[in-house]
Structure 1
Amino acid sequence: MKNTNSSPFISLVSLNILIVLVLTTAASYSIWNQAKIDVESFISSVKESIFLLGSRTVENKNLLLDILENPPKNLNENQVPIHYYPQRDEYGFNNGVNNDNLLNGTLLGRGRPPQAVLDNSYIFPYLERAWSRSTPLLLSSDQFYTSYRYKFIYTMGNRNIKRKTSEYLDVIVPTRYSSMAATDKSVKRQLHSRGFYITHAYKDTIDKTNVISVISPVHFQGQHIGDMGVDISTSYLYALNNFPRLIKRYAQVSLKIHGLESPLQLTANHADNFILITKTYVFEGLGSLTLNVTLPMILHGLHSKLQSMFVIMLMFNVIYIYLIRNKRERFQLQTKIITDDLTGIYNRRIIDEASSKSKLGTTFSLIVMDANKFKTINDTYGHQEGDLAIQHIARTLKENVRKEDICIRMGGDEFCIILPNTEITQAHLLANALKSKIESVPFSERGLFVHVSFGVSQKQNNDDFDETYKQADKQLYLNKHDA
C-alpha cells in the first residue's frame, strides 16, 4: 500500500513558480486598481471643481435677480461710466480704452449704450463683488454675464485686447450656450438636478481659446433675459492632473471633451506601447476619459515591488520548508510505528489504519501464511538463519503483489496479505504462486529452504476484517495439518 504522507505537497521549485505567479498577478492587479483609484480621484477633482463653480454660478444668478428686483435706493452712488466707441460701434468700459473706473471687469456691447443699461449700471460692481468670491476656485476661469435684452457681455477679467470691429457680438442670442451643449433633454436634466448645465468645448468669443462653459439661465419677469456663466479653459484640466509618476510616464490617459476634435492627452502618449487593460469613464455633459494600462507600466510597477515580493517569497519558503520537515518527521515516526523492523513490510498496526480509511473496497480477500516447522530451523541452525527465512518470505511477498495490496507480518513466522477488490479465486492463484516462489529459492548461503502453508478467505456480506481473517486462519490451520 502506497502511503501518500511520504510525498511532499509540491516541489520547492514548483512552489516558488506558483508564488511568483501569484505575487505577480496580485501586484499587477494592485497596480491596475491603484491606477483606477488615481484616475477616479482626478475625475472627482474635475467634477468637484466644475460643480462648485456651477453652484457659485447659480448663487451669482440669484444675487443678480435679487438686485434687479430690489435696486439700491441711491442709484447715483453706484453708477458706472459707460463709454461709446464710434470706431467700432461698440459701448462698454475697460476694453482697451477709457479705463477710468475702479472695476476689473470688462463690458462689451454692440452699438450705442441703451438708456436702460446706463440707468442700471449699478449691477456691474455688484456682480464683480460676487465673482470675487469664486476667483480662487479655478485659476483659469472667467466668469461672465450675457444679457440678451441689451446685447452685452460683462466678463470678470480686464480685456485689454485691440479690436477693430464688434461683429463677434452678433453671437449674443438666447440659444448661444444651450445650442453648444448636449441634447435638450440632457440640458433640462442638468438644470433640474443642479441648476446649471455644461456646454461642449468651443472657441471663446474674445480671445479664441478653447473653453467649456458652465451656464445658469437668468429668467426675470417671465423672460429669458440672460445667462450667468463661467468659462473654464480646457488647458486648465491639465492643472488638475496630479497623477503619480508611474501613470504619467507609462500609462495612457486621455480626456475626450465634446466639441474638441482631438482628446486631451493627460499623460505621455505612448501609442506604440502594448495596451493590457482599457477602461472608459463617462462625464455627462462634458465627455469621456479613457485609461489605458500598458505593459511597461506593469513592468515598472512590478520592479518597484520586487523587494516586498522577495520578502514574501522568502517567508513562504521558510514556512514551507518547516512544514515539509515537520511532515517528513511525522511520516517517519508513523512509518516506524506501522513497519516491521526485521522485514521492512507493515506490522499488524496497519490493519486498523487500512480498515478505518476504507482502503479495502467493497470486497477483499485475505491470504494468511506461515512457515512450516519454523521452530526446527531456529533450533537446528540458530535464530540468525530463522531471521533470514522470515526476510526471504517477506521479500518474496512484497516483490510479487500489486501496489495496492498490503503485506503484513502478523508476528513470528505468520504473514497476512490484504487484497482489495479481489475475488477468492484470484487470491488462491496468487497464494499458490507465492508458495511456489518461496519454496523454490533457498533463503541462505547454506542452501536451506523454507516451506509455507496458507489459508485464503473472502469478505462475506457484512463481515468485518476480523471475521474474514478468522476464516483464512482456519483454512491455514487445516492446510498446515495436512502438510
Structure 2
Amino acid sequence: MNNNNHSILEEQQTSWFTKHFVVSHYLLNRVIVLSINVLLLTFLVVMNTQQEISAAKEYVQGNLNQIKKSIISLAYRNERYARTFSKQITTLQAPQTSALVDVHYYPELNEFGFNRNVYPSNLLNGSLIGAGKPTDEIEKETNFFPFLDDLWSQQHQNSIKYNYYYISHTSKYFYLSTKYSVSDFNTRKHFFSTSLYNHYRSDTNEQYQNKEGFYFTAPYTDYITHEKVITLKSPVHKARQVIGDIGVDIPIASLRSAITLPRNFKAYLTLFFNNKAEDSQINILQGSKTALGPYLTMKVDIDEQNAICAHLSILFFLSSVIQNIIIGLVIIFLLNYMYSLLKKYQFQKNHFQLEAFTDSLTGLFNRRIMEKILPRLVKEYQDKKTPVSIIAIDANDFKIINDTYGHEIGDKALIHIANNISHLSRKSDIGLRLGGDEFCIVLPDCPLDKAMRMANRLSIAINQSRFCEHNVQTSITAGCIEVTKNESLNDALKRADHILYQNKKNNKITEQLKKYQ
C-alpha cells in the first residue's frame, strides 16, 4: 500500500468518524481515532519488520554467496593450473643438467629445501620443503618451478586470502607460493607418513575423485601456520598417473574479510564453516548477542560435504521494532519510511548513472564521461595552471588476435590492457575505453615527460605478461600530449591520436627495416 492510498484511507475514515462521532461523542471519537492510529502504526511496524527480516536474510545470503563465489572461482582456477602443469610436465621432461637452484639440506631437521628470504641468489618466488636428503631427481625437478611461479603470479581480485602449493607424492616435497620465514621452515619431519597427508591425497582416497577435477578437504590445522584451513586440491598427472596435487590453502579466519556487513549487524550474527562428513564446524564470526535468543538460520552449500552457515539473532529485529514503535508514536515513522525509500531510489539512480558512464567489458569509464564530466574537470585544472596530460592508447594487431583465437580471447586482451591501466594509474588518473581497442588516460597534475614515462611503463607491463592459456601476448602503441591553454578536450585527444598513429606507423617501418637487415 503506497502513501497516496494511506491519505485516501485517512480521509475516508475521518469523514465517517466526523459524521457519526465528532459532535455528540467527542471523547469516544478521540478514543476511536487514537485506536485506529495505533492499529495503523502496528500494521506498519509489522509490515516494516517483515520487510527488514526479508532484507536482512537477503543481505546475509548475499555475503554467503559472495564467499562461495570466491571459493569456487579459486577451485576452477586451481583445476586449470593442475591441467596446465600436467601438460607442461608431460611435454617437457626435467632437464638432465644441474638443478636450477641450490637445494639445501638441514641436518638438524633432517629436511631439505630453499627459501628466497634466506638465500638471495635464489630467483624463484616460492619455497621448497621436504623431508630427508634431496635426491638428484628432486634437484632436476626444480626446473619446473618457474612454470608454477608464472601460474601463481597472475593477479586476481579476490575477497579472501589464500596460498598455493604443489605437493609431489613421488618425491615427497612441497613447493609453496608463500615466502615463509626460516623460523616456520619445518615440515615436522614425518609429515608424509601422517594420517592427515594420507587421508587427503587425491591418488589414494576415492571419495575425493570427482568429474570436476577438484575437491575440498574438511577443515584441519595447517602444519606451518597452525591455523584452521580448508584446502582445494586438483591432481597433477604424468603418463595417466597421479604424481602430486596442486592445492590452495584457505584460512578459515580469512573468510571474515569477505563479510561486508555493518558492525552493529555483526553483533547479532554468527557465521561458521560446517563439514558433514566429519560432523565438525568452525566459527568464522561469533556474534556477541546471537546466543541470547532464537535465531534465523541461513546456509550456502560449497559442495556435498561443506557448507557456510549463518545464525541471525531475532534480537536484531526486536531493537528495530522498538525503535519503529517510538518513531511511529510521534508520527515520525512515516517520514523515516519515506526517507528510506527515497534513499533507495537515490542509490538506484546513482547506480544506474554509474553504469551509464562505465564500460561493461573492462570496467573503465566510457566515452560518455568525456561529454559530461571531464571537460569541466580539465578546465578546473587549467584555471589553476596545473598541467594535464593525455595518453592515447591503441592495441597492436588486435584484429589478428580476434581472427586467430576468437572474440573471447580478444575480449581477454582488452581486459588485460584495462587491468594494467587501472593497476598502474594513480587514484587521480582517469582511464577510458573509447571503443573497440582504443583507450586513453587523462592524467591531472602531470606534465608531458611524466606521462611519457607512464606510457612506457604501461607498454612494458602489457607486453611482458600473459593473459590467457594460449600463451598469447599483446602490445600497445601510445601517443602522449600535454593539454595546452584553452584547448578543448576533444582537440587534445585528436592531437594525441595523431601522435599515436605516427608512432604506430614508425613502429611498422622499423619492423620492416629489421626484416631486410
TM range (shorter): 0.5 to 0.7
Aligned to 1:299: 319
Q: Is 1:12–2:30 an aligned residue pair? A: no
Does residue 52 (structure 1) correspond to residue 69 (structure 2)? The answer is no
Give 1:261 deviation, angstroms. Answer: 6.1
Cα separation, 2, equivalents of 1:310 and 1:138: 38
Deviation at 1:199, TM superposition (A): 1.1
Deviations 1:319-348 (A, max 9, x none): xxxxxxxxxxxxxxxxxxxxxxxxxxxxxx
Q: Distance in 2 between matches of 1:303 and 1:165?
A: 56
Corresponding residue for residue 310 of structure 1? 334
Residue deviations 1:261-319, cap 9 Å, x none?
A: 664252532155333544455443333413223224432366367576334999xxxxx
- Quick one: which of 175, 190, 197 aligns to 1:154? 175
Which of 126, 131, 134 is 2:147 aligned to? 126
Q: CA deviation at 1:47?
A: 0.8
Change in 2 beyond 3 A, CA 1:115/1:75: closer
Of 205, 230, 234, which residue of structure 1 is paired with 2:248? 230
CA distance in 1, matches of 2:253, 2:158: 15
**Aligned residue number for residue 349 of structure 2:** none
Pick closer, same or farther for the CA change 1:73–1:144 going to 2, 3 Å: closer
Distance 1:157 1:262, change over 3 A: same
Letter of the 2:220 counterpart:
Y
What corresponds to 1:243 in structure 2? 261
Q: 1:291 to 1:203 in 2, by over 3 A?
A: same
Q: Quote the residue 2:218 is aligned against.
A: 200
Matching residue's letter, 1:34: A
Report the CA distance shift for 1:29/1:88 in structure 2 as closer, same or farther (over 3 A): same
Instruction: Provide the secondary structure at the position in 2 that maps to 1:121.
Output: helix
Aligned positions of 1:28-43 closer than 5 A: 28-43=49-64
Alpha carbons 1:23, 1:309 under 8 Å: kept: no
- Whole-angstrom distance in 1 between the partners of 2:94 and 2:244: 24
Per the alignment, residue 109 of structure 2 pairs with: 88
Following superposition, the deviation at residue 70 of structure 1 comes to: 1.5
**Which of these residues, 276, 285, 288, is aligned with residue 266 of structure 1?**
285
**Cα-Cα RMSD:** 3.7
> Contact (CA 8 Å) 1:257, 1:288: kept in 2 or not?
yes
Q: CA deviation at 1:164?
A: 9.0
Identify if the C-alpha distance between structure 1 residues 313 and 7 changes in structure 2 by more than 3 Å, giving closer, same or farther: farther
SS in 2 for 1:205: coil
Once residues 239 and 169 of structure 1 are traced to their aligned partners in structure 2, the CA distance between those partners, rounded to angstroms, is 34
CA contact (8 A) 1:95 1:160 kept: no
Partner amino acid, structure 1, of 2:323: H
Q: Is the 8 A contact 1:145 1:227 kept in 2?
A: yes
What is the 5 A alignment of 1:354-393?
A: none
Aligned equivalents of 1:313 and 1:106: distance in 2? 57
Contact in 2 for aligned 1:80/1:101 (Cα 8 Å): yes
Contact 2:90 2:239 in 1 (8 A): no
SS of the residue corresponding to residue 217 of structure 1 reads strand
User: Is contact 2:299-2:307 (8 Å) kept?
Assistant: no
Distance 1:207 1:253, change over 3 A: closer
Distance 2:337 2:280 in 1: 49
Q: How big is the shift at 1:26?
A: 1.0
Determine the structure 1 residue equivalent to 2:274.
Answer: 257
In 2, Cα distance between equivalents of 1:186 and 1:159:
32
Superposed CA offset, 1:390-439 (max 9, x none): xxxxxxxxxxxxxxxxxxxxxxxxxxxxxxxxxxxxxxxxxxxxxxxxxx
What amino acid does structure 1 have at the position aligned with 2:112? Y
1:287 to 296, 300, 307: 307
- 8 Å CA contact retained: 2:164, 2:176: yes
* CA distance in structure 2 between the partners assigned to 1:187 and 1:299 by the alignment: 46
CA gap of 1:276–1:114, structure 2 versus 1, over 3 A, is closer
Amino acid of the structure 2 residue aligned with 1:219 = H
2:228 corresponds in structure 1 to 210
Does structure 1 conserve the Cα–Cα contact (< 8 Å) formed by 2:170 and 2:243? yes
Counterparts of 1:102-121 in structure 2 under 5 Å? 102-121=123-142
Does the Cα contact within 8 Å between 1:58 and 1:196 map onto a contact in 2?
yes
Alignment partner of 1:219 is 2:237: yes
The whole-number CA distance in structure 2 between the counterparts of 1:301 and 1:228 is 51
Cα separation, 2, equivalents of 1:155 and 1:265: 25
1:226 CA displacement? 0.8
Q: Which structure's relative contact order is higher, taking Cα pairs within 8 Å and 6+ residues apart?
A: 1
Distance, in Å, in 2 between the alignment partners of 1:135 and 1:169 is 34
Task: Give the Cα–Cα distance (whole angstroms) in 1 for the partners of residues 234 and 171 of structure 2.
Answer: 18
**Distance (Å, rounded) in 2 between the aligned partners of 1:226 and 1:25:** 58
- The structural deviation recorded for 1:11 is 3.8
- Change in CA separation of 1:169 and 1:153 when aligned onto 2, cut-off 3 Å: farther
Q: 1:187 to 1:35 in 2, by over 3 A?
A: farther
Is the contact made by 1:46 and 1:240 (CA closer than 8 Å) also made in structure 2?
A: yes
CA shift at 1:125, angstroms? 1.0
SS at match of 1:120: helix
Q: Residue by residue, what CA displacement relative to the aligned partner does 1:8-54 show, whole Å, maximum 9, x if unpaired?
A: 99942332222122111111111111111111111111111111111
Letter paired with 1:235: A
Q: Distance in 2 between matches of 1:279 and 1:165?
A: 40
Cα pair distance change 1:79/1:59, threshold 3 Å: same
Q: Report the Cα distance in structure 2 between the residues aligned to 1:47 and 1:41, rounded to whole angstroms.
A: 10
Structure 1 residues 166 and 231, CA, compared in 2 at 3 Å: closer, same or farther?
A: closer
SS in 1 for 2:43: helix
Counterparts of 2:248 and 2:309, CA distance in 1: 22
Give the match's secondary structure for 2:259: coil
Contact 1:94 1:105 in 2 (8 A): yes
How many residues are aligned here? 305
Aligned equivalents of 1:99 and 1:238: distance in 2? 35
Question: TM-score, with normalisation over the residues of structure 2?
Answer: 0.51
State which structure, 1 or 2, has the greater radius of gyration over its C-alpha atoms.
1
- Cα deviation for residue 134 of structure 1 reads 5.1
